[in-house]
Structure 1
Amino acid sequence: MMSWWHKTLSGQLVAALLGALLLSQAVSFLFVWQERKQVLEAGDRAEFTNRTQSLARLVASLPADVRERIARASATDGTRFWIAPATEPGSPVWLGEMRAQFATPLARLLEASEGVALAEGREPGEAASALASAEVADEQSPPANWPANLPTGARALAFSDDLGVGFSVPLGDGTTFNAAYYNHFTGSILSTPFPMTFALTAGLVALVAIVVIRRIAEPLARLTQAAETLGRGEVLEPLPETGPDDIRHTAEAFNRMQERLHRFVQDRTRMLGAIGHDLRTPLTTLRLRAEFVEDEELQARMFATIEEMRAMTEAILALARQESETEPTRTVDLGTLVESLCEDLAEVGNDVRFEEGGRITCRCRPDSLRRALRNLIENAVRYGREANVSLTSAADGVEIRVRDRGPGIPADRLEDVFAPFVRLEESRNTETGGVGLGLSIARAIARQHGGDVLLRSGGRGLEAAIRLPR
């Protein structure tokens, strides 16, 4: 699964879309969350102010012995109400009373409001810990929008760090009704619809993205497969020119390229065939005229030259036929193919040995591959007196190796011998070598399969290897 995300176009595009969605959702959520927090805080403070005013009226109308119980019973998680002797609001005494109220758990306050004695001891909670260092940052008397029917001596207090607000309302009997609110709004992202909303949105985006991206990726996959097939020299049908404009134009360009390549190869092959064919007539004429030469030594040299030209012409025609043939590609057992060729060459007196290995299969054109391998083995026997053939497998393909015990090739000439008609043996004697097309034909065949022919010379002998992709 991770490989799909990292290596495929579909995976990377879907990941990019989901990443962009997550980022945009997160930024939007931060703004919404902040606005929601401000709205809730404003609502809580407005509610607290209204409740404080209502309780102040109620407490002022009750007997002194029940005021404390009513105040305690009105407490919530974020608010505290209490009756205390009149002190300066915001003074250390008043702040100490407020911290004591918040340090007392709500359950104990409610029990005390029902007549149960308030237990000693404190269990500081979040509010008490936060308000431990709170100081009065602002004071207003009378509070804003304060009702006219409530004591005008009431004061509103704003705590430092915007932790909350407090009120102190004189009751006219030497006591005050006190109220404090702690801004305890925190909330959790898990308590919001955001996770579910993002999951549903991401699922829908991913579903739509996969459908759309596959419409783009499938033509690209076909193009990749077609390019690989074309590189192996196989016959290929034109790609469907469908999909978005960019993909369709790419398919059209590939089809045009393929057509031009085939036309170029056909023209080149036709030209080589024509040259080789046309050379046969003057060569035949030369041989007939050489028959009338009376000097036997001169006649023999002329026959040798004509024969060499005839061999070169036949090699050109063989190369032309090789490039024009459209042998179908199929999967074969390479071990069986190579072993049978080695046995055929050994039966006619060549010192050829095959080192058996495991079963290796490969898609190729068997007749063409046999021709290329035959050229390498015959070269090894001609120049190195023997040929040891082996087959090895690698992760990215297979390799057929042919080793001999000849003099080898200088390192600076390893590539030169692949050029047509190039021979390191410069006598041009057909008894000691061919016309110089064997390696060229072998490499052409290997490259038509998407592979190559490599030469390695080191120490005693030469190793030629046909490397083929899987």
Structure 2
Amino acid sequence: MRRALAWLSPATLAGRTVLALLGGLLVFHFGSVWLLERGVRDALEEAREIHVADHAAMAARAIGGLPKELREDAARALSTPAFEAVWGHSGPAEPMDEAALAPLRVRLQRRAPELAGLHLRLGLAPANDGPRRIQGAMRLADASWVSFAAEAPDLAPVPTHASLASLSAMALGIVLASILVVRWITTPLRRLAKAAEAFGKGAAAPVPLPEDGPREVRDAARTFNAMQARIHRLVADRTQALAAVSHDLRTPIQRLRLRAGFLDDTEAQQAIDADLDEMEGMVEATLAYLRGETESEEPRQADLAAILSTLCDDATDRGASATYAGPDRLPILLRPLAVKRALGNLVDNALKHGGGARVTLEEAPGAVTVRVEDDGPGIPEAALEAVFEPFHRLDASRNRGTGGTGLGLAIVRQVVTAHGGTVTVANRREGGLVAAVRLPRQHTSKLDDATNARGTPPRSVLPPAAGSA
């Protein structure tokens, strides 16, 4: 059935849209014509009933007011091809079908109330080749009868507001049909948008998009699949090159460290070791950012409060000032290692540049917020957004002399965005900086969709972090 519809439908999106609009307009047009025809027919039936009721009442009134010797001639004078009247001393010889014509009799009496006092009786005339006719009889005050025959109106009552109800039902049907057709047309576009969103969030492998639907959508899907393949190949080549560079750098770094150990000048030895540590840190941070560690870890339930408490305890053990305030336990679905690394970067920044870190965890409906505050010099307002850019460093206190590669906040935003959250930094009125991370609590489907879109997350093509070679 679906293939048959696809074969009958136009190949282009514009053609399908025109077909949907044309189909709806044609249905509405034919429905309107049908309603008009029905309305005209109902109006004719109503006019026919009025004609029969008025002529019957007029005949009874005119004939009943004349002497008996003039009544027969008066009845013939009042007769027309559409209404034949006859006067007689006795009632109709043929039986009248009162039950079948009772609704019609009620309507005729409603249109000419004086017929109710004339004991109106109705029946069907014998069938012939002409139009269907009814016959009736009315008893006058002197017990004589006026009989008549006329073209039969519709025996069924004319419904009130029939056209309005039919038009409303037809409009509703067109709306429902249009919604279904539009959904059918736009389904490939929605599928393309979801695939683009999943790929934009950093899918580890390209997910081929089905190349079906209208011609424009097929072309877009084909181009999108080619773009995915090119980008994935470019990233893989770049990552492989960086992996080779990092591996080659570790060997001379270790040789330099070994040679520095034979120096007699302790101060020079310590300076060289510090430079080598900085080089190793830069290589490791760069590779961690480019590797995208969030893509190689499965989401699971983890205690965010425990992660923050551990980070603060580790900082305290190193002699730094770090405090935690918040609930003792707060389980949430996330990628624990990636989140710990991101929050650890915020704590380290506060310790290095602010002299201490105050970490708070707050719960809200549908989300949790982590705040990391320090008492440092803060950041210029113009640079509050720029600090999230990779390799961006400030020239004042937040420079290479205090450590760092300019990737700490870039990694934070990368991890938080992958979890469907947001991260911002702002200067405090009291001085210092506050970094706020907001993570949604109900993002299970988003993480699952990202994982399912990639399939089983592959291992990174990069080698282990620096220091493990």
Calculate the TM-score normalised by the size of structure 2: 0.57
Aligned twin of 1:402: 372
Aligned twin of 1:159: none
Q: What 5-or-longer segments of structure 1 have no aligned partner?
A: 1-14, 84-101, 119-185
Deviations 1:290-320 (A, max 9, x none): 6788877767655554443343233334434
1:112-191 superposed matches below 5 A: 114-116=139-141, 188=159, 190=161
2:116 is aligned with 1:107:
yes
User: 2:139 & 2:326 partners in 1: Cα distance?
Assistant: 99
User: 1:276 & 1:20 partners in 2: Cα distance?
Assistant: 66
2:445 is aligned with 1:436:
no
Aligned twin of 1:202: 173
Aligned twin of 1:266: 236
Please tell me the residue identity of whatever aligns with 2:433: L
What is the CA distance between 1:412 and its match in structure 2?
1.8
Please tell me the residue identity of whatever aligns with 1:309: M
Please tell me the residue identity of whatever aligns with 1:106: L
Aligned twin of 1:128: none
What is the CA distance between 1:27 and its match in structure 2?
2.8
Aligned twin of 1:278: 248
From the superposition, tell whether residues 208 and 439 of structure 1 become closer, same or farther in structure 2 (CA, over 3 Å).
Answer: closer
In 1, are the aligned partners of 2:294 and 2:418 still within 8 Å (CA)? no
Deviations 1:313-362 (A, max 9, x none): 33334434445962223454544544444445445544333332598665
User: 1:421 & 1:306 partners in 2: Cα distance?
Assistant: 21
In 2, are the aligned partners of 1:330 and 1:363 still within 8 Å (CA)? yes
Please tell me the residue identity of whatever aligns with 1:374: G
In 1, are the aligned partners of 2:327 and 2:361 still within 8 Å (CA)? yes
What is the CA distance between 1:239 and its match in structure 2?
4.7
User: 1:244 & 1:306 partners in 2: Cα distance?
Assistant: 57
2:381 is aligned with 1:372:
no
Choose which of 357, 367, 389 in structure 2 pairs with 1:387. 357
RMSD, aligned CA: 5.7
1:325-340 superposed matches below 5 A: 326-330=296-300, 332-340=302-310
Please tell me the residue identity of whatever aligns with 1:107: A
| Higher RCO (Cα < 8 Å, 6 or more apart) | 2
Aligned twin of 2:32: 27
User: 1:454 & 1:405 partners in 2: Cα distance?
Assistant: 17
- Report the 3-state secondary structure (helix = DSSP H, G, I; strand = E; otherwise coil) of the residue aligned with 1:105: helix
In 1, are the aligned partners of 2:372 and 2:434 still within 8 Å (CA)? yes
User: 1:456 & 1:252 partners in 2: Cα distance?
Assistant: 44
Calculate the TM-score normalised by the size of structure 1: 0.56
Choose which of 378, 381, 393 in structure 2 pairs with 1:411. 381
2:436 is aligned with 1:465:
yes
In 1, are the aligned partners of 2:304 and 2:330 still within 8 Å (CA)? yes
1:335-350 superposed matches below 5 A: 335-350=305-320
Deviations 1:50-102 (A, max 9, x none): 999x99xx99xx9535459969x999xx999999xxxxxxxxxxxxxxxxxx9
What is the CA distance between 1:410 and its match in structure 2?
1.8
Q: What 5-or-longer segments of structure 2 have no aligned partner?
A: 1-19, 88-110, 121-136, 144-156, 444-469
Deviations 1:170-194 (A, max 9, x none): xxxxxxxxxxxxxxxx955655797
